[in-house]
Amino acid sequence: MIRINENYLKLEASYLFSEIARRVSAFQEENPDREIIKLGIGDVTRPLPPACVSAFHRAVDEMADEALFRGYGPEQGYPFLREKIAAHDFMARGADIQPDEIFVSDGAKCDSANIQEIFSDDISVAIPDPVYPVYLDTNVMAGRTGRATDGRYAGITYLDGTSGNGFIPALPDQPVDLIYLCFPNNPTGATIGREALGGWVDYARQAKALILFDAAYEAFIRDDSLPHSIYEIPGAREVAIELRSFSKTAGFTGTRCAYTVVPRACRAWSADGTGHLLHTLWHRRHTTKFNGVSYPVQRAAEAVYSDAGQMQTRELTDSYLQNAALILKEMTALGFECIGGENAPYIWVKSKNNSWEFFDMLLEKAGVVCTPGAGFGRCGEGYVRFSAFNSFENVQTAMNRVREAVA
Ligand SMILES: *Cc1c(COP(=O)(O)O)cnc(C)c1O
């Protein structure tokens, strides 16, 4: 008899985005004339930068040419891309990361989900709340948790984000082995400074723990005092894996390209106390289970690092940050307590009442869709997330309508 992985039965139905879609379409049906503005989803709206599009086209033409055609590429990514990533994203910022420590993939979502299979089933895991749900659900699937009660799984150490700590969680008060951190943060837009991040690195070094640092929103950082990579922190090479993505940086959500950095200094231990290089394990996993990102997509990603690509991606992220600044300014002026929106495309707004009540009010009175914070964890209750991924005109209209709705 074929049996299922019963850990899947522990998963709480993730009804957040389907429930939003249901409420939006019900509203639209009752009010066919109302034009709805979506500031809910975490997906980009602007097209690929022209430099990426030309590189993409050129590479497709190569694939049609017998002399230039390429079949399987290296599973870890082509050297042309890994070298540019190491030079631009790390060496240029004083972070010692080599091209062979970079593993190119088709997404930071899959990487964040897949990476945990190289760790033991019985490690203890620390996950922020509110959180990007993938970190939590993939550990549930792997059997690292018990059942959920009141929205919290037994066995997980939750790192609470609150207005008191500015949504930068404090170090855990019980020992943990694997720690998920995401800065600039989705959903809160909070950023972390060198000193606080250094505290996490020191903790991990002393506890022989590992940090999974999700820097998918690194390209939105404008404050020069903030670290873009965890490897800007001394000692992090031994205790951190970093996830990056071209999705939000360059509009690749539908094109798919990301990478994971596993430094050769990162170790984890077998039961007999022997240290093992995580680079070796991840290399084995990646080359066994993955056959590489499509060649034209890697050429398109490479173009991000050209002079034109750098200017165009900067302009792209600037435009979303301009939207974020407007949302932050307007919501603050309306008397709402806000986090984020300055070095991140998300604004986390204290809703004065229940997350879903506030969502319904904005939808009905303003025709504006946000995301109820409760969908990101217990600590998200009482907040909503506004996303800056839309046109400036739509954001302006949305904010005018919100102002009238809450007046
Ligand atoms: C969007 C996002 C990513 C990127 O995922 P891809 O699979 O690369 O598109 C990673 N982490 C977080 C927190 C995100 O919001």
The predicted structure's pLDDT at residue 127: 98
The torsion defined by the Cα of 394, 397, 399 and 400, in degrees rounded to 10, comes to: 180
For the chain, list residues with pLDDT below 50.
none
Residues 51, 295, 311: CA angle, nearest 5 degrees: 20
The predicted structure's pLDDT at residue 97: 98
**pLDDT tens digits, 139-178:** 999 999 999 998 899 999 999 999 999 999 999 999 999 9
- 270 vs 284: CA distance, rounded Å: 16
Query: Which residue's CA is minimally distant from atom 11 of ligand 1?
Result: 216
**Omega before 187 cis (within 30°)?**
yes
**Which 3 state secondary structure label does DSSP give 257?**
coil
Counting from 1 in the atom list of ligand 1, the atom nearest the Cα of 182 is 13
User: Is residue 111 within 8 Å of residue 257, measured between CB atoms?
Assistant: no
CA of 348 to the centre of ligand 1 (A): 18
CA of 84 to the centre of ligand 1 (A): 21
* Helix segments in 142-225, DSSP class H: 194-207
Query: Which residue's CA is minimally distant from atom 2 of ligand 1?
Result: 216
Name residues whose C-beta falls within 8 Å of residue 400's C-beta, 6 or more positions apart in sequence. Answer: none
CA of 381 to the centre of ligand 1 (A): 22
The predicted structure's pLDDT at residue 17: 85
CA of 112 to the centre of ligand 1 (A): 9
The predicted structure's pLDDT at residue 251: 98
Q: What is the set of domains in the chain, with CATH numbers?
A: 6-47+308-406 (3.90.1150.10), 53-306 (3.40.640.10)
CA of 69 to the centre of ligand 1 (A): 31
The predicted structure's pLDDT at residue 151: 84
Greatest pairwise CA separation for the chain in angstroms: 67
Query: Which residue's CA is minimally distant from atom 15 of ligand 1?
Result: 186
CA of 254 to the centre of ligand 1 (A): 12
**pLDDT tens digits, 48-103:** 999 999 999 999 999 999 999 999 999 999 999 999 999 999 999 999 999 999 99
- Contact residues of ligand 1, CB 6 A cut-off: 42, 107-109, 132, 182, 186, 214, 216, 245, 247-248, 253, 258
